[in-house]
């Protein structure tokens, strides 16, 4: 095709029509999105209206091409006339103002518009993606943030209008873009087909909603902004590639806002032709000219439709696996609950079978426990102590303080509380699948079950003390806690059955663990002292009475003796009780019986000794009465002998007047005792 001013004028006219169509589609979509409060449609309207920028740029550029062609035609005519007349105006290159403006547009205007469009698309995509993501699920109060569009009929009508008008016009423009001079029109057709794709997405979302599932409508809030962001990134990449792409002299550069992805949707035959040419080049055979290729190319649309139809009909079959249960839902209405097996149903989305695993599910009502199952063979597994770092996501539970930790009473006194970290797994199975499915949205069922059980856990733990929880009352607390959780889940019709729940681990905060351990050590030491005292008591009683039981019996009889009041009338009873105690002690054979026997022996020896002294005194009295002088002399000599046993005796001659005596006090060869009969004394 000849690149004259008429050709470019037609392209500029098509660009203006594209601008008007893009503007009309965008305004229709924007009005519907505002009136229908459709978040996804509002984002789509922004993208469709953003397509006005490429169409306006193309209209300006093609009009400038038209002006440049007219200027070039005038310059050629002037050059030819100047050549014939040898005019001074020969050589009019410096007078081509429109050509300079056209070059400036291709070098600066189109890239600047492309980058501005990319920045706008990326900014809007980021803002709309964040707002759309916030509307996907539920808030902390369990309220769904997604607002479904109410005007379903208008949504389908607007979506079909966008899909049909945008695709037909994009195909028309892409057909024109096959001509080399009109290739930039592909940039405009890309945004027309983008509007068509968004209209199809809206219709598909409404069809899914007719099947009682808003999944597509919900996620279109983030899919459309993601699509906008992808187009913006593609523009930036195309701009960077254009900087290094080699071009021939006079070749019109491809605009950066020309999206290859959307251009493929608008004109898929060009991509197929390019692929066919590449295959023919690689194999050296004209594959595209063969009858098989032409047959497939002729019926490719029919083959795609038939394949899609077969895939759709395959949705008439559903399989429920082992360990699963299924809910048959037809047009949003529950039909029945089915077990494992193969089922035939109406095609999707008119009827679906939602499967759910009904095996064991595990949730946590407290802190997650320390995971030691991932340890590698040979790796040293840490010992779980109160002072260890168990898990970063541990949860504190409020319990009553111990008796020793209670705050004081009176004005200004505060009530103490204790914090304990607990590990409480919740193992449950699904018994009533329908009730479980109606409990909440799939992503929130486990959270709801965990929240209900945690509420019971915290309410129960707040009523018991830390001593009970850390001590022997943990088993009883586990039983009561399991009963409360199961009753709570039954009351809310959750459809689950509790297999096991209990307090597997409990420990104080890591910072206070040393104080707790010190208290435990003190308690153990006190208990050890008590046990040592009891052992000493048992040993003492066994040594005293032969056995602990016999000793306790004797002590009981002694207490009975002490209970008898004093008085002459009770002497007989006291004596009888005393004899009974004596017989028990003697019969026990312990150290008490030995001490009693020894005391009796000492008493007997003392009595008999005193009695012997009394009898000897009587004999001495008779001897004195018989001869007093003899008795005194005899006793005197006996006493003198007793005293002189250890006294030194000096024998000196009579008649010595000198009182000074020199005495050698050293004994020499003295043997014997002079006061004992038969002893001899030798003095050398």
DSSP secondary structure, 199-252, as one string = HHHHHHHHHHHHTT--HHHHHHHHHHHHHHHHHHHHHHHHHHHHHH----TTPP
What does the angle CA 139 – CA 140 – CA 146 come to, to the nearest 5 degrees? 10
Cα–Cα distance between 148 and 647 in angstroms, integer? 134
Q: Among all chains, which residue has been given the structure tokens 């002729």?
A: 298
pLDDT score at 272: 57
Cα–Cα distance between 465 and 153 in angstroms, integer? 62
Do 187 and 277 share a domain, yes or no?
no
**Confidence class of residue 682 from pLDDT cuts 50, 70 and 90?**
very low
Residue 322, domain extent: 315-357
DSSP structural state of residue 540: H
Q: Which CATH number belongs to the domain containing residue 484 in this structure?
A: 3.30.479.30
Residue 670 located in a structural domain: no
pLDDT score at 23: 92
* pLDDT digit string, tens, across residues 316-348: 888 887 777 787 887 767 777 787 888 888 887
Is the previous residue joined to 199 through a cis bond, with omega within 30 degrees of 0? no
Cα–Cα distance between 177 and 188 in angstroms, integer? 10
Q: Determine how many CB atoms are found less than 10 A away from the CB of residue 600.
A: 11
**Which of the listed residues 477, 508, 539 is the one where a domain comes to its end?**
508
624-634: average pLDDT: 86
**Confidence class of residue 20 from pLDDT cuts 50, 70 and 90?**
very high
How far is CA 468 from its chain centroid?
Answer: 27
Of 46-50, 292-296, 669-673, 678-682, the poorest mean pLDDT is in 678-682
Q: Determine how many CB atoms are found less than 10 A away from the CB of residue 232.
A: 23
What does the angle CA 209 – CA 214 – CA 218 come to, to the nearest 5 degrees? 130
**Confidence class of residue 663 from pLDDT cuts 50, 70 and 90?**
low
Task: Return the percentage of the chain with pLDDT > 70, whole number.
Answer: 75
Tally of CA atoms within 13 A in the half-sphere of 96 that contains its CB: 21
Do 453 and 438 share a domain, yes or no?
yes
Residue 452 located in a structural domain: yes
Predicted confidence (pLDDT) at residue 411 exceeds the cutoff of 50:
no
Do 45 and 109 share a domain, yes or no?
yes
Do 105 and 172 share a domain, yes or no?
yes
Cα–Cα distance between 670 and 683 in angstroms, integer? 6
Q: Among all chains, which residue has been given the structure tokens 């089922």?
A: 343
CA-closest candidate to residue 337, choices 437, 429, 428: 437
Report whether 429 contacts 422 (CB < 8 A).
no
pLDDT score at 681: 45
**Which of the listed residues 567, 589, 611 is the one where a domain comes to its end?**
589
Do 30 and 136 share a domain, yes or no?
yes
**Confidence class of residue 211 from pLDDT cuts 50, 70 and 90?**
low
Residue 173 located in a structural domain: yes
What does the angle CA 104 – CA 176 – CA 187 come to, to the nearest 5 degrees? 45
**Confidence class of residue 517 from pLDDT cuts 50, 70 and 90?**
confident
**Which of the listed residues 483, 508, 533 is the one where a domain comes to its end?**
508
- Best mean pLDDT range from 38-47, 282-291, 362-371: 38-47
Cα dihedral sign for 113, 119, 122, 127?
negative
pLDDT score at 85: 60
Of 37-41, 651-655, 659-663, the poorest mean pLDDT is in 659-663
Cα–Cα distance between 216 and 226 in angstroms, integer? 14
Do 201 and 66 share a domain, yes or no?
yes
Q: Among all chains, which residue has been given the structure tokens 């004999």?
A: 619
Read off the tokens for 595.
């001490």
Cα–Cα distance between 41 and 33 in angstroms, integer? 5
Q: Determine how many CB atoms are found less than 10 A away from the CB of residue 292.
A: 8
Predicted confidence (pLDDT) at residue 361 exceeds the cutoff of 50:
yes
285-296: average pLDDT: 65
Read off the tokens for 195.
């509007």
Angle between helices 39-50 and 52-85 (to 10 degrees): 0
How far is CA 389 from its chain centroid?
Answer: 14
Of 72-86, 491-505, 576-590, the poorest mean pLDDT is in 72-86
Tally of CA atoms within 13 A in the half-sphere of 518 that contains its CB: 5
Residue 417 backbone class (left: φ over 0; alpha: ψ -120 to 50; beta: rest): beta
* pLDDT digit string, tens, across residues 598-626: 888 888 888 888 888 888 888 888 888 88
Residue 91 backbone class (left: φ over 0; alpha: ψ -120 to 50; beta: rest): left
**Confidence class of residue 145 from pLDDT cuts 50, 70 and 90?**
confident
pLDDT score at 673: 54
Do 164 and 15 share a domain, yes or no?
yes
Model pTM score:
0.49
Of 156-170, 383-397, 552-566, the poorest mean pLDDT is in 383-397
Task: Return the percentage of the chain with pLDDT > 90, whole number.
Answer: 3
- Best mean pLDDT range from 97-111, 346-360, 388-402, 452-466: 97-111
Report whether 269 contacts 297 (CB < 8 A).
no
What does the angle CA 67 – CA 69 – CA 73 come to, to the nearest 5 degrees? 115
- Greater model confidence, 57 or 523: 57
Residue 159 located in a structural domain: yes
The maximal CA–CA distance of the chain, rounded, in angstroms, is 206
Residue 435, φ and ψ in degrees, nearest 5: -65, -40
Count how many domains the chain has. Answer: 5
* pLDDT digit string, tens, across residues 233-289: 988 888 888 887 776 666 677 788 887 777 766 666 555 565 566 566 555 666 666
Predicted confidence (pLDDT) at residue 150 exceeds the cutoff of 50:
yes
Instruction: Name, in order, each residue with C-beta under 8 angstroms of 318's C-beta and a sequence gap of 6 or more.
Output: 326, 342, 343, 345, 352, 353
pLDDT score at 410: 43
Predicted confidence (pLDDT) at residue 231 exceeds the cutoff of 50:
yes
Residue 567 backbone class (left: φ over 0; alpha: ψ -120 to 50; beta: rest): left
Residue 184 located in a structural domain: yes
Read off the tokens for 319.
């399989």
By the 10 Å C-beta count (0-12 exposed, 13-18 middle, 19+ buried), 288 is classed as: middle
Query: What is the DSSP track for 326-351?
Result: EEEEETTEEEEEE-SEEEE-PPTTTE
Do 419 and 439 share a domain, yes or no?
yes
Residue 242 located in a structural domain: yes
Residue 208, φ and ψ in degrees, nearest 5: -65, -40
Residue 633 located in a structural domain: no
Do 486 and 395 share a domain, yes or no?
yes
CA-closest candidate to residue 513, choices 418, 399, 387: 387
- Greater model confidence, 168 or 541: 168
C-alpha separations of 194 from 52, 190, 304 in Å: 12, 6, 21
Q: State the pairing for strand pair 361-364/418-423.
A: unpaired
pLDDT score at 123: 92
Tally of CA atoms within 13 A in the half-sphere of 228 that contains its CB: 31
Report whether 136 contacts 218 (CB < 8 A).
yes
**Confidence class of residue 667 from pLDDT cuts 50, 70 and 90?**
low
Residue 577 located in a structural domain: yes
Q: What is the mean pLDDT of the chain?
A: 76
Do 258 and 274 share a domain, yes or no?
no
Do 428 and 285 share a domain, yes or no?
no
C-alpha separations of 310 from 39, 347, 650 in Å: 34, 11, 152
Report whether 44 contacts 223 (CB < 8 A).
no
Under DSSP, is residue 507 helix (H, G, I), strand (E, B) or coil? strand
Cross-strand bridge partners of residue 363: 426
550-562: average pLDDT: 82
Do 399 and 258 share a domain, yes or no?
no
Q: State the pairing for strand pair 317-320/418-423.
A: unpaired
């Amino acid at each position: 095709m000849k690149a004259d001013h008429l050709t470019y004028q037609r392209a500029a006219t098509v660009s203006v029509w594209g601008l008007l169509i893009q503007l009309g589609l965008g305004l229709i979509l924007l009005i519907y999105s505002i009136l229908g409060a459709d978040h996804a449609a509002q984002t789509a309207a922004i993208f469709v209206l953003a397509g006005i920028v490429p169409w306006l740029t193309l209209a300006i550029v093609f009009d400038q091409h038209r002006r440049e062609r007219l200027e070039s035609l005038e310059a050629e005519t002037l050059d030819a006339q100047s050549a014939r007349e040898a005019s001074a105006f020969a050589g009019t290159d410096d007078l081509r103002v429109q050509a300079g403006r056209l070059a400036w547009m291709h070098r600066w205007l189109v890239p600047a518009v492309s980058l501005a469009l990319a920045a706008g698309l990326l900014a809007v995509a980021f803002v709309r993606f964040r707002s759309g993501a916030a509307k996907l699920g539920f808030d902390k109060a369990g309220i769904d943030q997604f607002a479904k569009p109410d005007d379903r009929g208008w949504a389908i009508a607007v979506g079909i209008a966008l899909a049909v008008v945008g695709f037909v016009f994009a195909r028309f423009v892409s057909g024109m873009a096959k001509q080399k001079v009109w290739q930039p029109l592909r940039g405009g057709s890309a945004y027309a087909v983008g509007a068509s794709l968004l209209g199809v997405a809206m219709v598909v979302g409404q069809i899914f909603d007719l099947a009682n599932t808003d999944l597509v409508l919900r996620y279109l809030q983030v899919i459309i902004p993601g699509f906008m962001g992808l187009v913006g990134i593609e523009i930036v990449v195309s701009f960077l590639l254009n900087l290094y792409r080699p071009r021939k002299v006079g070749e019109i550069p491809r605009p950066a806002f020309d999206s290859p992805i959307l251009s493929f949707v608008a004109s898929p035959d060009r991509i197929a032709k390019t692929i066919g040419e590449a295959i023919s080049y690689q194999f050296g055979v004209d594959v595209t000219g063969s009858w098989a290729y032409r047959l497939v190319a002729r019926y490719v649309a029919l083959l795609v439709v038939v394949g899609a139809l077969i895939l759709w009909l395959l949705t008439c079959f559903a399989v429920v696996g082992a360990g699963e249960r299924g809910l048959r839902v037809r047009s949003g209405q529950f039909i029945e609950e089915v077990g494992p097996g193969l089922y035939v149903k109406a095609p999707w989305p008119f009827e679906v079978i939602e499967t759910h695993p009904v095996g064991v599910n595990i949730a946590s009502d407290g802190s997650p426990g320390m995971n030691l199952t991932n340890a590698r063979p040979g790796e040293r597994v840490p010992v779980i102590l109160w002072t260890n770092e168990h898990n970063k996501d541990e949860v504190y539970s409020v319990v009553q303080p111990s008796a020793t930790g209670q705050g004081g009473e009176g004005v200004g006194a505060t009530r103490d509380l204790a914090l304990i970290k607990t590990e409480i797994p919740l193992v449950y199975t699904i018994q009533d699948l329908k009730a479980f499915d109606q409990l909440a949205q799939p992503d929130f069922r486990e959270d709801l079950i965990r929240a209900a059980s945690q509420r019971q856990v915290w309410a129960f733990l707040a009523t018991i003390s830390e001593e009970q929880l850390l001590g022997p009352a943990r088993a009883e607390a586990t039983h009561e806690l399991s009963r409360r959780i199961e009753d709570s889940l039954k009351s809310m019709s959750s459809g689950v059955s509790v297999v096991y729940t209990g307090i597997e681990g409990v420990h104080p905060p890591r910072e206070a663990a040393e104080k707790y351990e010190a208290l435990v050590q003190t308690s153990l030491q006190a208990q050890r002292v008590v046990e040592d005292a009891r052992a000493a008591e048992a040993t003492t009683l066994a040594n005293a009475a032969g056995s602990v039981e016999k000793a306790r019996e004797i002590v009981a009889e002694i207490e009975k003796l002490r209970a008898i009041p004093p008085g002459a009338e009770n002497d007989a009873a006291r004596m009888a009780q005393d004899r009974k105690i004596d017989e028990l002690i003697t019969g026990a054979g312990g150290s008490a019986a030995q001490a009693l026997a020894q005391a009796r022996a000492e008493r007997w020896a003392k009595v008999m000794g005193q009695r012997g002294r009394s009898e000897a005194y009587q004999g001495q009295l008779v001897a004195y009465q018989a001869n007093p002088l003899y008795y005194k002399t005899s006793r005197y000599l006996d006493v003198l002998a007793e005293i002189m046993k250890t006294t030194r005796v000096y024998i000196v001659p009579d008649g010595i007047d000198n009182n000074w005596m020199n005495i050698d006090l050293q004994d020499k060869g003295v043997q014997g005792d002079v006061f004992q009969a038969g002893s001899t004394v030798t003095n050398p």
